[in-house]
Amino acid sequence: MNSRKDISFVLGAVSLFVLAILVWGSLYQGWFPSLAKPLIPKDQEGPKDIAELSENPQGSLYPDTPRINVKDGVKTWPKPEENDDGWDYDLFTTIDIAWDSLQGEYVPLSRKVIPTPPFGVALVKLAYPRYPYVLRSSMAAKSGKEEDREFTIENVETKTYYERCKLKRPIDPKLPIIPQSFKVEKGSDGFPRNVLTLRDNLLNRTIVIDDIKPVEFKDTLDIVLVSTSDPSTTWTFHEKGAKFTYQLADYVIKDVDLDNKTVTVDKTFIPVPKKGLKTFTQTLNLPSSTDTKSPPPPKDKAKKSR
C-alpha cells in the first residue's frame, strides 16, 4: 500500500471527528454562543429564545362535566340477564340472585327456579312387632287331665277367636300354631297370670303368650313406609341401613329414633340432568291422630272359628 495515502486518510478522518465534536458542542452545549445558538435553550433562557412561551395561553377552557348522581340513575340502568346476547357485564352491577334448594346453589333471579319435588315417602308405622295372638280364657276339663284343658285364643288384628283349643293340637287346621304347655303364674301386681306356650311353625319360634296383652318382639323393629302418591305402595323394614328404589330415586334409612317415633331417610336422584346426582335428607314422623282418620269399626260381630 502507499504510505502517503494512508496517512492522508487517517488525518482526514481525525479532522472530521474533531469537526463533528465542535458542531455538537456549539449546537447542543452552547460552547460558542457568539457563533451559534443552541437548538435546545436552557429553562431560564427559553422565553427569550422562543417567543411563544412568553405569550398568554389562548383558546377556550374545557367545560366541566357534571357529576353523575348514582342514586338517581341506578333505577334506569338495565340489569344483565342470563344468556342475553351481546351483553357487556358491568363488574359493579350485581346480578339479582336467589337460592335454589333443588340445585343447592345460588342462581340468577331471572332463571326460573325449579321447585323441589315431594320427598315421595312417608312413615306410617314404627314400633316393635307384636304377636297378634292373646289368651282369652282357660277352662279345666271334667276329666281333670291337663291335656283335655280347653283354651280360647284371639287374633287381635283380625278379631278372630279360636275356641276349644287343646294342647298338642293346632288351634286351626289352616294354622300351624300348636299350644305346648299351660301354667298359672303370679304377676308383678300380685294377681294370677295365665301363661300359654305356643309353637308357631310359621315364624319357626316358641312364643309365650298370656291373658293380659300381646307380646312384643324387642329384638327387631317394624318400619313401614308408604308412597305419598300411591298409598297402596308400602315397604316394611326391620332395621336402619335398609335400601330401596322408587320412581328413579334411591332411598336409604339412615337413622331410627324409637323414642321420638322418627325415621331419617336419604333420597338420592337427579333433579336437574346437567347437575348430576343430589342427596336430600328428611326426618319422617308418624302421622298424628288428627292427620289420619281410622276406619270405623265393623258393625257385625267378630267371626269365630272352632
Tens place of pLDDT for every residue, the chain, 306 residues? 566 767 777 788 888 888 888 777 776 666 666 655 655 556 555 555 566 666 777 766 667 776 666 555 555 555 555 545 555 555 666 777 878 776 677 877 766 666 778 899 999 999 999 999 999 999 988 888 888 899 999 999 999 999 999 999 999 999 999 999 999 988 777 788 899 999 999 989 999 999 989 999 988 899 999 999 999 999 999 999 999 999 999 999 999 999 999 999 999 998 877 778 889 999 999 987 645 454 454 444 344 433
What's the number of CA atoms in the CB half-sphere (13 Å) around residue 224?
A: 13
Stretch (H or E) spanning 165:
strand 160-165
Long-range contacts, 23-28 (Cβ 8 Å, 24+): none
Q: Nearest Cα to 127, choosing from 233, 253, 255, 256?
A: 256
Residue 50 domain-assigned? yes
Output the pLDDT for position 25: 74
Residue ending a domain, among 158, 179, 210, is: 210
Same domain, 204 and 234: no
254 and 190 inside one domain: no
Please indicate, yes or no, whether residues 98 and 139 belong to a single structural domain of this protein. no
The answer as to whether 91 is a domain residue is yes
The pLDDT value recorded for residue 96 is: 77
The predicted pLDDT at position 252 comes to: 96
Same domain membership, residue 263 and residue 243: yes
Domain annotation covers residue 193 = yes
The answer on 265 and 200 residing in a single domain is: no
**Is residue 159 domain-shared with residue 91, that is, in the same domain?**
no
Q: Are 149 and 205 in the same domain?
A: yes
The verdict on 186 and 150 lying in the same domain is yes
Residue 64 resides in a domain = no
Whether 23 and 84 share a structural domain:
no
Query: Do residues 141 and 202 both lie within one domain?
Result: yes
Dist CA 211 CA 196 (whole Å):
9
For residue 147, the SS3 value is helix
Decide if 65 is inside a domain: no
**How many C-beta atoms lie closer than 10 Å to residue 100's C-beta?**
20
Question: How many Cβ atoms from other residues are within 10 Å of residue 247's Cβ?
Answer: 13
Residue 67 inside a domain? The answer is no
- What domain count does the chain have? 4
pLDDT value of position 294: 46
∠68-69-74 over CA atoms, to 5°? Answer: 105
The pTM (predicted TM-score) of the whole model is 0.50
Q: Which domain holds residue 228?
A: 121-127+219-285
- The cell numbers describing 100, all together, are 335454589
